[in-house]
Structure 1
C-alpha cells in the first residue's frame, strides 16, 4: 500500500517532533516514522537518564560529606540501586510518553512504528507500507560504538556494557572498568564510584578528555583521582577476556599492571550513526567513511528533497545541536530565513561533578591559529560561592582576540560553570567585545560574578 504525504520524518529524536509540529501548523501532511523509542537518544539513553543518575550520585556524595557541613548522620551511606533505577525510569517514561502522546494527537501527522528504508529518493518502506513525499527528513540518531574483535579482542565473546545497556543495571558492580576516558565514560565512572563501586578508567590517549586543553585534562584527572577512581592512560592493545565470574581488561601501558580485573566492563568509546539499514544507496544519498550523512550548511543532502538532522549528520552529537538543526531546517523552509550550521558557536559540557563547560575555541586551537590573543584565568578557590558550597575544584579560563578584543572561547570547570558560561556565550553571539562583560555587574554571591573579574585580568598568551 502506498500513501502520499507532503513530508516524511524518519525518527522521533530531538529534531523530528518539533519539525513535525512546525510543518503541520503550516498545513503540511506529515508522516513520522519511529522504529523503537520516542524521544530519541537524549530522552531514552542519553541526557535524561544519565543526568537523573548523576543527581542520585551527587546526593550520595553530599550525604557522605555531611560532616564537612556540620551535618551528623548515623551510619554509612547505602545505595538502593533498584530505587535509583526506578527514579530514573520514571523520569524517562514521563518524557518519552509526552513526546509520543504529542505526536499521536498532532493534527496532520500520521505516526508509523517500524524501521524505515529508502526504496527511492522520494519513497520509504515501513513494513508493508510505502510512504511517498517530496520532502524527507532523516533524524535517526546514533548508537554506542562497539569495536569488532579484530580491533579489540574479546568483544565477540566477553559480556560488556555500553552507555545504553548500563542504564538497565539495578545492582551495584563491585568493580566497574570503564574503557574510554572521555565524556561518556567519565560521567559513568564518577557516578558509579559515588554509588560505591570500585572504578578504573582505561584510556588509550596520554590524558583524559583529550579534545580539551591540557590544563583541563589535568584538572579533570585531579577531580576523579581525589574520589578514588583509578586511571590508566596510554593504554594500547586493549583486550577483553573472562576469568571465572570476572572480566579482565588487558592493557599495555607505559606503567602499571598489564591487566585490570573487574566485575563489569563498560565500553564508552564513541558512537556510530544509525544509517547502515536505511537503504540510503537506493536514494543516492552520500555518506562519509564513518556512515554519517553528508550535508551542506543548511542540512541538505546531495539529493534534492532530502535533509539530515541530528547525530546522523556528523555536524554535532548533542541534543542542543540536534534541536538547532530543526530550527535551521524550519527557518529555511517556512520562514525564508537563511539560517546556517556555520552560524552556531561550538559548545558542549562534561557532566562530571564539578561540570566542565567549553564554548568557542580552546586554548590549543587559538595557539594553532596564530592569532595574537589574551587569556584570563581564575581558580575556583577564588570564587566565593564555590567556597561557601565547599566545592572549589576547577578553574575558569577565557580567551580574547588581542586586536579586536572579541571573545574567542572559554572553559569553566567548576560548580555552576555549565550555567554561568552562558553569559559569555550570549556576548559571543551578540558579537560584543570582552569589555561588555568586564564592565557588567553580576549578582553576589554567584559563580558568574567572577567572570567580569577574569575578563578584567587578561594577559598576553606566552
Structure 2
C-alpha cells in the first residue's frame, strides 16, 4: 500500500460530534489536522456530522418540532382561537425541512474545517501499526497510508440489530430509516422503549400513527429518578403511546404487506400486526475493522475500545473518544467534551472532564433531563437527603404556554445542603438542566439556588421553587 507524503500532527477517524470537534480544537491549537469520514446521506452525498446529525438527535428533533406543530394545531388550535376547516399533512415536506436543516449544519461544519485548514478525507480508515492509518477512498481510488504523531479514534456507533427482527429496509427498519418515512404508518411498533424508541414514538404518534412500544425490561426508563419515570409513563400513556413492558420479541416477519410480530410477556405469547416495525434496541461501537490485527488495539468483549481516564488506548499516541468507549454514556456532548479534552492533552493542556455531572436528555414532548444522583440510589447508599419538588402546573409561564405537565425535583444532602441530583420532566427540560449542572459544578447548596433571583414569569423559576420546597418555603404552592 503506497504512503502519501503528507504528514500530520493529528489524524481523527470519524466526523461525528466527538470527531469533528476534536479536529477543530486540534487545529485551533496549531496542530496540522486531518479528519477521515465516510458517511453518505440517503442521496449518496458525503456528509459530516455522523449519525448524530444525519440519522440521530438533530434529525429527530427537527421532525419532532414539525409533529408538535401539527398536533398542537389539530388538538389545541381552537382554544387559542385558531380554527381551520381542514389541515393537510405533508410528511414529505417535513422530511425535506429536516434534510435542509441537516444540510445547513453540514455546510457549517465544512466551512469550519476550511477556516481552520483541516484536511477532510472522504474515505474509510483503518488504524495500522506505527501510528499509520490506511485510507480507502469512497471514490474507489487506490488505498494509501497516512502517518501522524497522534491518532484520535472517533468512529461512533451504529444501531444494534436483532436476529429475531432482521432489518429489510422496507417494513422492518432501524432508527435512522424511521426518520425518513414518507407517509404515516397506520399502526407502528417499536422494539425498545428506551431513549431513542421514545423519541421516535413521539414523532409518529403525534402525526397520527397508532404506536406500540415493546420493551423487554419490566421497568420503564431506569436511568432517571423513579418519580420522573413514573410521571413520564403516565404522560406518554395519556398521549396515546401503548407501552408494553416485559415484552420479549420472538420473531418478526413480513406477511401480506404487514409485519407479524410474536412476543412473550408474563401472560404468555402474543401476536401483533403492524404496518411498520422499528428496531430501537440500543447502539454498538463501530470498532469492527477499525484497526488492523497487527495494530493490537485492545477491545473488550462488547467491542468497546479500552481506554484509561485520559482517553488513551493501549497504543502510544492513539486515543479513543465518544461512543467507542465506556467512559460515560453515549451522548453527543460527552463526545464533544472528550474531543476538546484529548486535543488539549496533545497540546500539553490538561483540563479533565467531570463525568459525574454529565447531563442526560430525552428529546420527547415533554422533555426529560437529569444530572447527578437519583433519590433511589442515594437512599440505597444510606445518604441523608432531602427532596424538593415543584410541578409545572403551578408555574405561570408553563400555564401561559399550555405546557404545564411535569415537574422539577431537586435532591440535596440533608446536612450540608449540597445539591446531589436534579431531575426534570417538562417543557424545555433540556435547557433548564444547564442551570442545575452549573450549580452542581460549583458545589452549590440548595440555598444558593433559592437565593438566586429568577425572572418572573419563566420556566426557570421552577428550579428556584423546587429549591425553596426543600425548606418548605415554596411561594406558588400551598405548604
Instruction: For 2:168 and 2:76, locate their aligned partners in 1 and report how far apart those are by CA, in whole Å.
Output: 45
For 2:333 and 2:387, how far apart are their aligned partners in 1? 27
Which residue is equivalent to 1:317? 330
Q: 1:58, CA displacement in angstroms?
A: 0.8
1:331-352, CA deviations, whole angstroms, 9 ceiling, x for partnerless residues? 3222x43222345512111111
Segments of structure 2 that go 5 or more residues without pairing to the other structure are: 40-46, 137-142, 473-479
The alignment partner of 1:6 has SS state of strand
Shift of 1:41: 2.1
CA displacement 1:236-275 (0-9 Å, x = unmatched): 2442122311002211123597122100000111001111
Q: Which residue of 1 aligns with 2:470?
A: 458
Structure 2 counterpart of 1:2: 3
Partner of 1:133: 148
The CA distance in 2 between the partners of 1:280 and 1:431, in whole Å, is: 45
1:375–1:398 Cα contact (<8 Å) kept: yes
- Give, in whole Å, the separation in 2 of the partners of 1:139 and 1:229: 35
Paired with 1:196 and 1:56, the residues of 2 have a C-alpha distance of 13
Mapped to 2, the partners of 1:376 and 1:435 lie a distance apart of 12
Kindly indicate whether residue 123 of structure 2 is the aligned counterpart of residue 110 of structure 1.
Answer: no
Q: 1:79 maps to which residue?
A: 89
Aligned to 1:52: 62
Contact 1:298 1:339 (8 Å CA) reproduced? no
Paired residues in the alignment total 455
Match runs of 1:302-451 below 5 Å: 302-315=314-327, 316-334=329-347, 336-342=348-354, 345-451=357-463
Deviation of 1:373 after TM superposition, in Å, equals 0.8
Match of 2:200 among 162, 167, 188: 188
Tell me if structure 2 keeps the 8 A contact 1:66–1:73.
no
Cα distance between partner residues in 1 of 2:351 and 2:391: 38
Counterpart-to-counterpart distance in 1, 2:400 and 2:14: 45
**Does the 8 A contact of 1:39 with 1:100 survive in 2?**
no
Q: Distance in 2 between matches of 1:80 and 1:156?
A: 25
Structure 1 residues 142 and 69: CA distance shift in structure 2, 3 A: same
Matched, 1:162 2:174: yes
- Distance, in Å, in 1 between the alignment partners of 2:102 and 2:154 is 20
TM-score by length of structure 1 reads 0.93
1:301 aligns with 2:302: no
Distance in 2 of aligned mates of 1:293 and 1:403: 41
Deviations 1:385-432 (A, max 9, x none): 222222222111111111221110111101122212222211101112
Equivalence for 2:140: none
After superposition, the CA RMSD in angstroms is 2.1
Question: Using the alignment, how far apart are the partners of 2:31 and 2:337 within structure 1?
Answer: 21
Alpha carbons 2:22, 2:336 under 8 Å: kept: no
User: Could you tell me how far apart the structure 2 residues matched to 1:253 and 1:158 are?
Assistant: 27
Does residue 35 (structure 1) correspond to residue 45 (structure 2)? The answer is: no
What is the alpha-carbon distance in structure 1 between the residues aligned to residue 29 and residue 439 of structure 2?
33
- C-alpha contact 1:175 1:197 (8 A) present in aligned 2: yes
Match of 2:238 in 1: 226
Could you say which residue in structure 2 is the equivalent of 1:258?
270
Find the aligned partners of 2:188 and 2:315 in 1 and give their Cα distance: 45
Query: Cα–Cα, structure 1 residues 172 and 343, in superposed 2: closer, same or farther, change >3 Å?
Result: closer
SS for the counterpart of 2:453 is coil
What is the rounded CA distance, in whole Å, between the counterparts of 1:20 and 1:363 in structure 2?
Answer: 39
In structure 2, C-alpha distance between the alignment counterparts of 1:196 and 1:157, rounded to whole Å: 22
- Separation in structure 2 between the aligned mates of residue 342 and residue 416 of structure 1, nearest angstrom: 24
Partner of 1:94: 104
User: What is the CA-CA distance between 1:177 and the residue it aligns to?
Assistant: 0.4
CA gap of 1:68–1:422, structure 2 versus 1, over 3 A, is farther
8 Å Cα contact 1:385/1:447 also seen in 2: yes
Find the counterpart in structure 1 of residue 129 from structure 2. Answer: 120
1:78 to partner: Cα distance: 3.1
Greater CA deviation, 365-374 or 25-34? 25-34
Distance in 2 between residues matched to 1:156 and 1:387, nearest whole Å: 45
Deviations 1:112-171 (A, max 9, x none): 221111221411111211011221000111111112x2xx36558994111111222211
Partner of residue 44, structure 2: none
Q: Mark the runs of 5 or more structure 1 residues left unpaired by the alignment.
A: none
Asked if the contact 1:238/1:252 (under 8 Å) is kept, the reply is yes
- Measured after TM superposition, the shift of residue 311 of structure 1 is 1.2
Secondary structure of the residue aligned to 1:5 is: strand
